[in-house]
Each structure stands twice: as C-alpha cells, then as structure tokens.
Amino acid sequence: MPKRLTACLITATLAGLLVTTSTQANMYRYKDENGQTVISSSVPQEATKRGYEILGNNGRVIEKVAPAPTAEEIAAREAEKERQRQAELQRQEDEKLLQRYSHPNQAVRAMHRKIGEMEGIIQLKRGNISVLASQLDGEQSRAADMERSGRDVPQASLDKIQRLEAQIRDIEAEIASQRKQIEAMKQEFMADIERLEEVTGEKRTVPLERKKKARTSD
C-alpha cells in the first residue's frame, strides 16, 4: 500500500475517533416528564429544571447538575441569608456594647448617673419657675390693687404678666420633654442591661430604681 494512502487512512481513522469521542463526551442522562430515564446529546430546557448527568466517553457520570431550586428552597435560602446578616449585625452591636460595659451592673449605674444629671437639670428649671411664679404673683397683685382702686393697669405691667406666663409655660414644656427623654433613655438602658445579662451570663445585682437622696440627715 502506498505511504500516502496509508497516511490518509490513519488521518481519517483518527478524525473518526475524535468525532466519536466528542459525541460520546456530550451525552446527557435525565428524567423526562414521565419519570423515564433518557440519554441524549442534548437536554431539553424543562429537563434541566429536574437536574441531569453528564456522561463521559465510557458512559460513566463525570458531572451531576443539581435540579433548579424550588420557590420554597429559594425563600429558605434568602431567609437564611437574612438570618446570618442579622446575626452579624447583632454580633457587631454586642461588641460595641461590651466595649462600654463589661457587666450589667455597670450599665445600671450609668443609667442612674444619666437620670441623676437630667433630674438635676429639671430641678434647676423648677427653681426658675418658682422665681418667675413669684414675680408673676407680684405683678398680678399690683394689677389687682390698681383695678380695685379704679386705676388703669399700665400696658407695661400687662405685657410683663403675659411674658412671665409665657416663660413659665415654655419651661414647663421643656420639663415635660425632658421627662419623655428620661423614659426613652430608660428603655434603651433596659434593653442594654437585658442584652448584657444574656451575652455575659451575669445577672445584675444593682437595683434598677435609683436611690433618692434623703432630704434630711440624722
């Protein structure tokens, strides 16, 4: 046989083997809509949702493609991702909390200090109200005396009475606002104290209610 013919035959044979190998390497095994096993060179789109296997040239499975996740599975995965995200956020918040307080009692004492500071400001404002109320009583008494004696009350006196009344109302509104701030602050501290008890495994021993200073001494 001539060498050229032999070379051509070898080339053709190799090409055939390559085609056969390529074809065999692209075989797939899957279940059809009736649950029957199908081996084919392609996978219908509907079958990909159920998962399939890629077969090698020896007919063995070289790769398994998992079925497409169901809506419930997708929802469960998203819920798990959200749970992990929330857990990480909580971990970061716990780290910040432990940097401020190492024990629940520290948070309780800090709450008492803050309440004491705000109560002190309220007491100062109540003192201001007492001073203004005294001035208001004086102005109103003088105005009443003038009216009883038949004299007209000067406009300046009436303006002062209105101004004092407005100042008292403003301070009372400030005190009411600060009372709300104290309650909101208490709620925040209580949440921190409860979380500290959970994170540290320690229970507070300091009372939550702040001891009021005695007005008289023995």
Length of the chain counted residue by residue: 218
Query: How many Cβ atoms are within 10 Å of 152's Cβ, its own excluded?
Result: 10
Question: What domain count does the chain have?
Answer: 2
Successive 10-residue mean pLDDT values, the chain, 218 residues: 47 46 67 88 85 88 88 92 96 96 96 96 97 96 93 94 97 97 96 96 93 53
**Which residue segment(s) compose the domain that 43 sits in?**
27-66
- How far apart CA 166 and CA 170 sit, in angstroms, is 6
DSSP-derived secondary structure for 57-92: TTS-EEEEEPPPPPHHHHHHHHHHHHHHHHHHHHHH
Predicted TM-score (pTM) above 0.75: no
Q: What is the pLDDT of residue 58?
A: 83
Structural domain contains residue 89: no
Of 14, 48, 66, the last residue of a domain is 66
On whether both 117 and 57 belong to a single domain, the answer is no
Q: Are residues 52 and 111 in the same domain?
A: no
With contact defined as beta carbons under 8 Å apart, do 125 and 131 qualify?
no
61: β partners: 55
CB of 204 closer than 8 Å to CB of 104? yes
Give the rounded distance of the alpha carbon of 157 from its chain centre. 56
Q: Do 55 and 142 fall into the same domain?
A: no
Within a domain: 4: no
What angle is formed at CA 43 by the lines to CA 58 and CA 61, rounded to 5 degrees? 25
Pairing, β 37-40 against β 52-55: unpaired
Could you tell me if 110 and 153 lie in one domain?
Answer: yes
